[in-house]
Amino acid sequence: MLYLAEVQKQKGGLLSGGGKTELKLLACQRTDQNWSTVSEEVIAAEEASKLNDGALVLVELNPNRQVQRIQEAGRPLVNILQNFSRQLEKFKLKEDEIDQWKQSLTFQAQELNRREMDMEVRLEQLQQLEDEVQHLEEQKQEVDTSRQEIERLQGEIERNRQELEGAWEHLRGEQRRLEERQADFQQGTVLDEEQSRVMSELLDRLSSRVTPTGTVREHLHLAFELVEKQQATLTPHWQKLEEHKNAIAQQQEEVERLSQTLSDRQNALQQAQNSLVQQTAQLQINTADLSSKQEYARLVKEQLRNAEELYQQMHSLAATSSDVVLGKQADVEALDKMPLEELQKIVQDLQHKLEIDASFVHDQEQELQYKQEAIEELQTKLNHASDHDHINLELELTDEKDLYQMLNSSLVGQRRNMLQHQKFLKQHQAVLLRRQGRTVTEEESNNKINLEPILLQIETQRQQYSQEIQKLEREIEQIRSGVELNQGMIDNQTHELDEKHQELKAIEENLLSLRRTNGEYYGRVNLYQEALQPIQDSLDGLRQKLQGIRESLDQFQETGDYQVQAIAQLRHTLQSLMPQPELLAS
């Protein structure tokens, strides 16, 4: 099981080579992404003696609580923190997406509630319109009945007028005969008693033919009241019709406003799409530039790796060949003058330090082998992974390769230092054996090859390559940051475009609903007006006919008054023509 632990060292004497080394367990790995704290437990681990006190390490223990493998925890902790940061970013994106969906659903629910309320109000208005149309039909029937009554009155008035015209014509004839008699009277002719009686009867009959207009006027007044009552009933309907027209006009303004909003949003959407195309083109350019920089960096890294291999081969050659001089050399003259016991102590210390270095290099090589096996295992999983796990495995494989590269780079220098220490120890051992009187194979030569200038040149190239790689990595990081920024902007713009598409769709649906509703309203208002207009036309026609009857009745009344006056004059004239009683008596 894998644990996170802290190295604790107890200080020891200088000659003992160090104190006791222990590991303080801090946390335990439950799963790949799950760690939990453990009770503080300390276990002995001499394998960690080469590490600094207080260093954090990852240690793998077997069921017997013995150390199987140990490694520094810096890089794995960084990987864990990076994975945690990625998970937090994913959770943040999911939360933002959920919030956006909540806002969208809230807006849609509010819009649906508003539309439902509008539909209920419109249904109530339509029901009122239907009731009013039915009421108008009843009023139309009442108007038709009133019109029939008025037509009956008009026929009666017409008959009375014809009778009055006949009586008036008869009166004119009698008046003409009276004028003839009056002319005869002026010549001395006097009506006899029989003629006077006939004339009186005629005047009485003519007086009785004058038709009274009071009853007709009363019926006419009732007809006018009925028409005004019908008009008072129709007037609120006309007002409601005007209100409905105003409502339709307001809805039409809302339709025009939504149409303008839709046009503006479509223009904004087109601009956003154009900007997205430009951003995508820029992203492709930056991606191509990033690929070229990465390829160039790969070539420079390959040159650096070749230089490091050459450097390592030079050091190996210097460590294994006695004819090559490299690095630190033992001061043979000082060693010859040094006390033998002190020289033995130096040789023992150098040998002990070389053993520690060799053990550390061996552990690092084993760790490198474990990393190689882990990389191969991840590569195998990646080849058979699903699309859902592919990204996580790629990230994990990249981290493992980076850690392998870091360990391999540090191991190169450690091997080189170990070989130099080994050669330095051999020089001291040769002097010690010679001073002890033992036979020593002569390894010194006057014709030794000094590889230090070549190594300095290689080191200079390595530094140049490293600087170039650092420069390229900075440029690559800048380009990658720009690519990630462009990708983020493109993702945001794509998300915004999707939202704008949804918003446009909602506006189009709302606009279509308003247009459909407005059309239904317009059709019903037209139907309402078509029902009202014939009734209003009938009332206007009745009013005009009644007005004509009133004028005819006024003329008829005037004619009747003139007729009565003429009859009175005829009576007076007739009395003057009748024989006087005194004359008759004589």
pLDDT at 32: 65
One-character DSSP codes across 209-247: T----HHHHHHHHHHHHHHHHHHHHHHHHHHHHHHHHHH
Cα separation, 528 vs 523, in Å, equals 9
Q: Write out the chain's pLDDT in tens, 586 residues.
A: 788 888 887 765 444 445 678 888 888 887 766 777 877 778 887 777 777 777 888 888 887 777 878 888 777 777 777 777 777 787 788 778 787 877 877 887 787 788 778 778 877 877 777 777 777 777 677 767 766 776 776 677 677 667 667 766 766 776 677 667 666 655 544 556 666 677 677 667 666 655 556 666 777 777 778 778 878 887 887 888 788 788 888 878 888 888 888 888 888 888 888 888 888 888 888 888 888 888 888 888 888 888 777 776 766 665 555 555 555 566 778 888 888 888 888 888 888 888 888 888 888 888 888 888 888 888 888 888 777 777 788 888 888 888 888 777 777 667 767 777 777 788 788 888 888 887 655 444 344 555 667 777 877 887 888 888 888 888 888 888 888 888 888 888 888 888 888 888 888 888 888 788 878 777 777 877 777 788 788 778 877 877 877 777 777 677 767 767 777 777 777 666 665 543 333 3
User: Which ranges constitute the DSSP H helices of 321-385?
Assistant: 332-337, 340-383
Residue type, 159: R
Q: Name the helix (H) or strand (E) containing 3.
A: strand 2-9
The candidate with the shortest Cα–Cα distance to 71, out of 355, 354, 370, is 370
pLDDT at 542: 77
Cα separation, 494 vs 480, in Å, equals 20
pLDDT at 325: 52
Cα separation, 301 vs 246, in Å, equals 79
Residue type, 60: E
Q: 56: which strand partners?
A: 6
pLDDT at 13: 44
Cα separation, 111 vs 105, in Å, equals 10
Which phi and psi (to 5°) does residue 136 adopt? -65, -35
pLDDT at 506: 84
Cα separation, 574 vs 199, in Å, equals 8
Which phi and psi (to 5°) does residue 473 adopt? -65, -40
One-character DSSP codes across 398-463: HHHHHHHHHHHHHHHHHHHHHHHHHHHHHHHHHHHHHHTT--------SS-EE-HHHHHHHHHHHH
CA of 70: how far to CAs of 24, 56, 367, 546, 584, in Å? 13, 10, 8, 119, 174
> Does the pTM exceed 0.95?
no
**Vertex 490: Cα angle to 485 and 492 (nearest 5):** 95
Q: Name the helix (H) or strand (E) containing 169.
A: helix 74-186
